[in-house]
Amino acid sequence: MSKPEELKIVTTADGSKTVYHTIIQENYHSRNGALQESNHVFLNSGLRYYLADKITSQVAVLEVGFGTGLNFLLTQDFCTGKEITLHYVGLEAYPLSLDLIKAADYQQWVSANTWALFQANYEKALTENVMLNDFCSLHIAAIDAHIYQTDLRFDVIYFDAFASANQPEMWTKDFITHILSFLKSGGVFVTYAITGDLKRIMKSQGMKIEKAPGAAGKREMLRAVKP
Ligand SMILES: C[S@@+](CC[C@H](N)C(=O)[O-])C[C@H]1O[C@@H](n2cnc3c(N)ncnc32)[C@H](O)[C@@H]1O
């Protein structure tokens, strides 16, 4: 999956770009707007929801399917602005080239500093945990998320896998249970989709689930909190 020649940059409805995978025929973000989806599903319904009732100076985020790094960039920008220390781990089995990431042009949606730090450290972050500045560390584990293991525990999980129609192995009970094992008690799991199967899996793991309004083009999305 994801050979460079199989990927192309496309523009979504809100003017932001994403990557289109020509073999599985799926975008990395919603065609209704990459930027609005990342902001709505992950930053606002995930991280900001988690932080809303807390006084905290740090947060740890795990992303399944790091891709272009748009979710990370928006999260880093937000946390740096609030002086919240961010520990971010992205899982990515098929890392994109830096050239492709640059072609997505995300510098227009985040501060110049956030963008500069990301592109300067992207390749290093694929091999180790990197401190980007006083407030942010990034590690992109270039690994199949099914075999990822860590002693770290996270406050928020951004679950951004391809749709189950294309990658059913990312939506099984075993895999989602594996990913939930990295979530702290009180932590928040968010994803852009919501299905009966997903709700059943969440309930079987004791998660408190909530249907949240979906990003443009989707009525609902799933948010779940670990008791
Ligand atoms: C919908 S895209 C995510 C887009 C990404 N969050 C972004 O902002 O660009 C799904 C991502 O999951 C990655 N992926 C697919 N299978 C994976 C696996 N087994 N483990 C980790 N990542 C995987 C894909 O390469 C792709 O980058």
pLDDT at 4: 76
Low-confidence ranges of the chain (pLDDT < 70): 1-2
pLDDT at 3: 76
Q: What residues are in contact with ligand 1 under a 6 Å CB criterion?
A: 2, 28, 65-68, 70-71, 91-94, 144-146, 160-162, 167
DSSP 3-state assignment of 215?
A: coil
* Ligand 1 atom nearest to CA at 70: 8
Sign, Cα dihedral of 75, 39, 161, 95: negative
The structure tokens 């793991």 sit at: 205
Q: Sign of the CA dihedral 143, 192, 61, 109?
A: positive
> Which residue owns the Cα nearest ligand 1 atom 17?
93
- Whether the model clears a pTM of 0.95, i.e. scores above it, the answer is yes
- Say which residues have a Cβ less than 8 Å from residue 13's Cβ, sequence separation at least 6: 31, 32, 33, 216
Which 3 state secondary structure label does DSSP give 150? Answer: coil
Ligand 1 midpoint to CA 64 (Å) = 7
Shortest-distance atom of ligand 1 to CA 162: 1
Residues 58, 82 contacting (CB under 8 angstroms): no
**Residue of the CA atom closest to atom 12 of ligand 1:** 65
CATH superfamily name and code, 33-225: Vaccinia Virus protein VP39 (3.40.50.150)
C-alpha 2 – ligand 1 centre gap (Å): 10
